Amino acid sequence: DSGVTQTPKHLITATGQRVTLRCSPRSGDLSVYWYQQSLDQGLQFLIQYYNGEERAKGNILERFSAQQFPDLHSELNLSSLELGDSALYFCASSGGQEETQYFGPGTRLLVL
Amino acid sequence: ELKVEQNPLFLSMQEGKNYTIYCNYSTTSDRLYWYRQDPGKSLESLFVLLSNGAVKQEGRLMASLDTKARLSTLHITAAVHDLSATYFCAVERTYKYIFGTGTRLKVLA
């Protein structure tokens, strides 16, 4: 158990819909990261937040947005969903100089 | 543009043998990470390498970093079945992370 929690575990929805994925980092970690893992695109970095502020953006689509709240939990919002958005979405958190990232169990999203 | 190449993609090895997974990247980096992923599971951090010449070891796994060659290696010593998993390297540059394609390792008894 990494100490990072993600909800929900599984999500099935239809094209065009909007969903919200939630992540609670390890206690004391200020950084939160979001990643997408799919068979065709592999592991992709989406976005990082540090202490409530966006620190870096990766391959995040404009239809996707995220935020980190004052209690440090984070949400990833996916809208106008397409079939190709079906993937595993991981959240990770880190703290300390080495920035070791601890991954949550993931949310498996299926868009039908 | 930062690109990361990992090889081999698949590796089947006998228990007790040694082998190395390679991770090449195209531009300078700030950190290099190695992760393990078991089927259907999340990623587990193995190593974070920060500087040229860095070497870290944990059990039968040893990771090293050569920033001049833009190469990291993950060496497996005397493999055991429990090491069967997919291994990813990831390179960070200015807080952005690029992953290799992963190496699926199968250790045969």
Give per-residue pLDDT as tens, B55-91.
999 999 999 999 999 999 999 999 999 999 999 999 9
Q: How far apart (Å, rounded) are the C-alpha atoms in residues A87 and A34? A: 13
Chain A residues near residue B98 by CB distance under 8 angstroms:
45
pLDDT at A112: 97
What span, in angstroms and rounded, lies between the C-alpha atoms of A44 and B101?
Answer: 10
Could you tell me if A11 and A78 are in contact, meaning their C-beta atoms sit under 8 angstroms apart? no
Cβ-defined contact of A44 to B31 (cutoff 8 Å): no
pLDDT at B1: 84
Using CA coordinates, name the residue in chain B closest to A89. Answer: B42
Q: Which residue has the higher pLDDT, A96 or A108?
A: A108
CB pairs under 8 A between A and B: 47
Lowest mean pLDDT among A1-5, A18-22, B23-27, B52-56: B52-56
pLDDT above 80 for A97: no
Q: What is the pLDDT of residue A17?
A: 98
Judged by a CB distance cut-off of 8 A, whether residue A49 touches chain B is no
* Whether pLDDT at A96 is above 80: no
Looking at residues B83-106, what average pLDDT do you find? 95
Please tell me the predicted confidence (pLDDT) of residue A99.
82
Structure confidence at residue A77 as a pLDDT band (50, 70, 90)? very high
Q: What is the chain B residue with the closest CA to A105?
A: B42
Q: How far apart are CA B74 and CA B43, in angstroms?
A: 16
Whole-number average pLDDT of chain A: 95
- Using CA atoms, how far apart are residues A90 and A100, in angstroms rounded to an integer? 15
pLDDT at A98 exceeding the cut of 90:
no
Best A36, A41, A99, A108 residue to mutate vs chain B (most B CBs within 10 Å) = A99
pLDDT, tens digit (0-9, with 9 covering 90-100), for A11-54:
999 999 999 999 999 999 999 999 999 998 999 999 999 999 99
* The pLDDT of residue B28: 87
